[in-house]
Amino acid sequence: MSSIYIPKRALFIYAHPDDIEFGVAGTAALWAKNGCAVKYIVITDGNIGSHEEGMTTQKLAEIRRAEQTAAAEHVGATVKFLGYDDGVLQPTLELRRDLVREIRAHRASVVVCGDPRAFFPRDTYINHPDHRAAATAAVEACFPATNSPLIFPELINEGFAPHDINYVYISHPIDGANCYVDISETVGLKIEALKLHKSQMGDWDPTERILEWSAEIGRKVDFKHAERYRRITLKELLPPEDE
Ligand SMILES: [Zn+2]
């Protein structure tokens, strides 16, 4: 199925600065361009991703937050950092509660996150444990906690009422892809946003790689460039979207 659905409010939940730009920023840019309130939740500061001499985790956190903020702004999104430590993320109840708070605060009709099942998605790649932890916590926050008043009752005292999410978009699903987003008009923005992560790119120009990946996915559904999801419906929306 192809999708031209534009949510009203979308929350993208990922572990590290640059995860969104590598994976799903074409979708974020497309939705933002068409009036969706797009917000990124970046759980860690990505502050161990450097081999540079003299670099400290604190300095690196500052750099990576600034890069991620610029990358979000470039596609019309806002970003919030949760400040968890990079490299040792766990899908704890504390993280789940923090994510429920953010989903309710943004009143997200859509949550976009990774696939918690992706342990070794290819023969040449073990998924970063932080990615799995972030994806697990995000999916577990979406259901059933976000619309349950009796789970995390303290959030209600903080002013965050239970909320219904319509769809969860699982990016890079290991199987069951059922939703392709046509990013042909935003893949350029996606590449520009990725390049803003200068501390990670070094001399590498990601243009070719991103164009290849998105073209390969697009071929399956006759889009020039696409991003692919397994879309989970929690509460079907009857068009037009009504809020
Ligand atoms: Zn990552």
- CATH number, domain at 11? 3.40.50.10320
Q: Which ranges in 84-230 belong to alpha helices (H)?
A: 93-106, 129-142, 153-157, 187-195, 198-201, 207-219
Query: Two tokens at 150?
Result: 């009796």
Residue 105 covered by a domain: yes
Residue 128 covered by a domain: yes
Residue 241 covered by a domain: no
Q: What domain count does the chain have?
A: 1
Query: How remote is the CA of residue 5 from the centroid of ligand 1, in Å?
Result: 27
Nearest Cα residue to 216 out of 165, 177, 189, 158? 177
Residue 239 covered by a domain: no
Query: How remote is the CA of residue 54 from the centroid of ligand 1, in Å?
Result: 23
Query: How remote is the CA of residue 161 from the centroid of ligand 1, in Å?
Result: 31
Structural domain for 18, as ranges: 2-233
Over the stretch 50-105, which tens digit does the pLDDT of each residue have?
Answer: 788 888 989 999 999 999 999 999 999 999 999 999 999 999 999 999 999 999 99
Residue 242 covered by a domain: no
Residue 186 covered by a domain: yes
Over the stretch 20-44, which tens digit does the pLDDT of each residue have?
Answer: 999 999 999 999 999 999 999 999 9
Query: How remote is the CA of residue 7 from the centroid of ligand 1, in Å?
Result: 25
Query: How remote is the CA of residue 133 from the centroid of ligand 1, in Å?
Result: 11
pLDDT at 48: 86
Residue 164 covered by a domain: yes
User: Half-sphere exposure of 99 toward its Cβ, with a 13 Å CA cutoff?
Assistant: 34
**Mean pLDDT for the chain overall:** 95
Query: How remote is the CA of residue 132 from the centroid of ligand 1, in Å?
Result: 10
Q: How far apart are CA 104 and CA 116, in angstroms?
A: 21
Residue 123 covered by a domain: yes
Query: How remote is the CA of residue 15 from the centroid of ligand 1, in Å?
Result: 6
* pLDDT at 218 > cutoff 50: yes
